[in-house]
Amino acid sequence: MLMLLAPLGTPRLLLGLAAAILSVGVAGAPTAAHAGTANLSAVYWDTAHQRWRDAATTPYDAGKIASYDYASATAVFAYRDQGLTLAGNFTGSNLKPNFAYQLKLNGKPSYFWGPQGDDLANERIGYAGRWWLNKVEKTTGILVGGWNSNDAEYAAWKAQGFTDGVYDYAFEGYLLFAYLVTDQHGQVAQNLVVDSSFHVLWKTAQRTPGPNDSVPSMHSFVLDGASDWYASSQPDEVRSIYAEWEPTRTLPGELSLPAGTYAVRFFLTEESFHESAGSPPSGSWATVMTHDDVEFSIAAPVPTLSTLGLALLLLGMVWTGTKALTGRGLGSACTPRGSAGSNA
């Protein structure tokens, strides 16, 4: 319990007020009020870019490659949709075994989504993470190209209304905020917090982690020939995996999205580790499952003072008040104005 000490002669009214304020304390941040559930569905626009090797680069069985479909997988993100950050739990089953996946929030520009779009959330996600630029022929609406962009290019096209008169330039912001690794059965359960901005995943055998990258996590991969994913049993593999920090963005663990409402998409994307083995393919960051209607709110943080800081502030207020009151003849040892010893 913190005791409030004040000079002798401090008016009881001020001491009582200080004690009352201390007993109430400082209002904390609002807690989560609602919850949402995103059941992801399989998508097929990146099928040609899927990876058919596990995170240790061991190839999957040819028969499984020919028959597997993400439609048979289950992936659920149960999240808190109102609070100081987006957080929740991801569970998956019948995903690819011993496999690494990226978890991303993707914006919904109104150019593509119409009334269901959210341009402000799209912009906020892009400035927190990265940009994908879609070049669209203005008269036909045909997508003619796309590439990773940057803040400067986004700002330049925004100033021109995202068009040059011949082509429209539609930006999608996206944020890689976490990753997960499945077990030998393709299952995973992991708590998530959107507090980081990453570029891509690596194995420590490929690249030494930088000072701003995530802490590597160790994973033991069981290669069981009894599973139809592998042609034969092989020695277990151990790999250390980490996420590379997205340069110029907030450091991992420190990201806070701006306060407001968000309508975004949730992506499950395969990690290919920049590998190039071609048969079976190592893949190229295929997005394989999505949920297109994730809505949440980020509350504005409430400024807080530490208990000690608040006590010192109140003590200063009490002391100042005491001096003011005693100087006006309200204390127990007041000296009238104009009397001997006064400089008035």
Q: Residue 174, exposed/middle/buried by CB under 10 A (0-12, 13-18, 19+)?
A: buried
What the block records as the tokens of 7 is 């000079």
What order of strands is seen across the sheet that includes strand 188-193?
Answer: 35-39, 74-80, 87-93, 188-193
How far is Cα of residue 295 from the mean position of the Cα atoms in its chain?
Answer: 14
| pTM as predicted | 0.81
- Reported as a single tens digit per residue, the pLDDT across 286-340 is 999 999 999 999 998 776 655 556 556 666 665 565 565 555 544 443 333 343 3
Phi/psi at 135 (nearest 5 deg)?
-100, 120
Q: Which amino acid is at 306?
A: S
Alpha-carbon gap, residue 197 to 119, rounded angstroms: 20
- Reported as a single tens digit per residue, the pLDDT across 133-175 is 999 999 999 999 999 999 999 999 999 999 999 999 999 999 9
Smallest CA-to-CA distance from 125 within 211, 214, 250, 284 is with 250
Contacts of 196 (CB under 8 A, 6+ apart): 177, 178, 214, 243, 245, 250, 252, 253, 254, 255
How far is Cα of residue 297 from the mean position of the Cα atoms in its chain?
Answer: 13
Longest dimension (CA), the chain: 105
- Reported as a single tens digit per residue, the pLDDT across 85-130 is 999 999 999 999 999 999 999 999 999 999 999 999 999 999 999 9
Position 236 pLDDT exceeds 70: yes
pLDDT at 273 (0 to 100): 98
Q: Is the bond into 301 cis (omega within 30 degrees of 0)?
A: no
pLDDT-above-90 percentage for the chain: 70
What the block records as the tokens of 180 is 């997960």
